[in-house]
Amino acid sequence: MNDDGPWMPLRAELKRWESAGRRARLWLRDDDAVEVTDTLERLLDATGRASVPLTLAVIPAFTDDALATRLARENQVLVAVHGWSHANYASANEKKQELGRHRPAQVVLSELRNGLATLRHLHGQRLVPMLVPPWNRINEDLVPWLGQEGFEVLSVFGRSKENSSIRVLNTHVDVVNARGQRGSRSHGDLVAELVGELQARFVKDDEPIGILTHHLVHGTSEWRFLDRLFDETAGHPGVTWSSAHDLLS
């Protein structure tokens, strides 16, 4: 079966960028890494074959030398701090949060400081001082203090807010169905979301477009989408995949 149909809008949009002599900027963030798994190997293989830089958000409390040893063989993988333990402290009627208002700020900041130190020790120069809050949620009162704890950038989901007290590098298209609905997201819907972000950047290219993945919960549909996305975009003259390091420098 020919499955080009859902991808035609992306091809048309990238052709528009190419014809204008412009390159859209994409970057890739994957969340919830702790250890070396078959699914992580699949992600590393897919990004490696396509030469797509990857930022891996690692949970500091549960990771160890094994992941650092494996990533040392990769040239295009960076590590970011994914909270501390990815624990939920919200009540049953709230959205899940680790970095919310449920605990004293000093306790939360101390854990984040420990997380940054832990991953710096394990990964060295591969670490980018980026905080990726679990579930993409953080108490905004904590944000002005992140720089004091050693963080230089915050990465959540959605368009960046202006006048932030810290640099922001967000994601905008989540490959995984994170809304509690059953089943995988349709490729047509995902392409439409990405095209919408590209169209907005064509008018005002004010921030790169972040693609968000969660390798531990990918099914066949998510892997197929990611492989096809790389096929459609890697090496295309109208788009470039950038590392978080390059975008921030």
Q: Token match 């963080």: residue?
A: 151
pLDDT tens-digit series, residues 185-213: 999 999 999 999 999 999 999 999 999 99
Confidence of residue 1 (pLDDT cuts 50, 70, 90): very low
Q: Is the pLDDT of residue 74 over 50?
A: yes
What distances in angstroms separate CA 162 from CA 5, 81, 167, 219, 226, one per listed residue?
37, 23, 10, 36, 30
C-alpha angle 120-123-125 in degrees, rounded to nearest 5: 80
- Show me where the domains of the chain are located: 5-14+23-248
**Above pLDDT 70, what percent of the chain?**
96
**Which uninterrupted H or E stretch holds 153?**
strand 153-154
Helix residue ranges per DSSP H, 103-215:
105-123, 187-203
* Nearest residue to 240 via CA among 20, 79, 48, 52: 52
Identify the band that residue 17 occupies on the pLDDT scale cut at 50, 70 and 90.
Answer: very high
Q: pLDDT for 144-200, tens place per residue? A: 999 999 999 999 999 998 757 899 999 999 999 766 555 689 999 999 999 999 999
Q: Which CATH superfamily is domain 5-14+23-248 in?
A: Glycoside hydrolase/deacetylase (3.20.20.370)
Indicate the SS3 state at residue 70: helix
| Token pair in block for residue 242 | 């950038």
pTM value is: 0.96
At residue 39, the pLDDT reads: 98
- Helix spans in 72-186 (H): 105-123
